[in-house]
Amino acid sequence: MAAASSATSVHDFTVKDASGKDVDLSVYKGKVLLIVNVASQCGLTNSNYTELSQLYEKYKDQGFEILAFPCNQFGGQEPGSNEEIVQFACTRFKAEYPIFDKVDVNGNNAAPLYKYLKSNKGGLFGDSIKWNFSKFLVDKEGRVVDRYAPTTSPMSIEVTHSFAAHILFAQLELLGSHYNIFIYISTEGYQEAAWEFLNH
């Protein structure tokens, strides 16, 4: 398992799945990731789990994956076992994306992955995760490109330029065709993407 200080991308980390098996995050190379710390008894649970499933259903075949990490550090709102957490998410919210082992996201015992995420994208009021359902957007190369507050709804992320651009890149890679991809920043500061098919 990589240390947060030596890692160069999310793909350098190995984490535990809900059954305790190691998962090398390099298996997600080429995919856009939304990494979320989840909880089952939070006031944000229903809306976030519902919209996470909607977002995943819409983009799962377009190079997108959600990685959910249960955490009990905020109000003790994720007290259940891994088995109970997975059953709750999959039965009540039809979650099809992977749910991993329960972790700490803050403090000395924070998971190395979360130390890395926070060091790459600090929050508005410091690096610490503030509450359940904080979200990190990771590009297909494993780089942390954006961070969203717990109150940012998953479906609202869909319309951000950052999400749209990185999903586009992942789609083009899945096509396996020859493309030139151009990213430019407009004078208004918006990120846009365009592509040109090259006929070889």
Annotated catalytic residues are: 42
Helices and strands of the chain, counted as H and E runs: 5, 8
* Local structure of 45: helix, strand or coil: helix
Pairing of strands 22-24, 135-138: unpaired
Cα–Cα distance measured from residue 32 to residue 167, given in angstroms and rounded to the nearest whole number: 6
* Local structure of 160: helix, strand or coil: coil
**DSSP E strand stretches across the chain:** 14-16, 22-24, 32-38, 64-70, 135-138, 144-148, 179-185, 191-197
Cross-strand partners of 192? 184
- Compute the Cα dihedral for 178, 179, 180, 183 and give only its sign: negative
Cα–Cα distance measured from residue 64 to residue 152, given in angstroms and rounded to the nearest whole number: 18
- Which of 156, 197, 192, 162 has the alpha carbon at shortest distance from 178? 197
Q: At residue 143, what is the residue type?
A: R
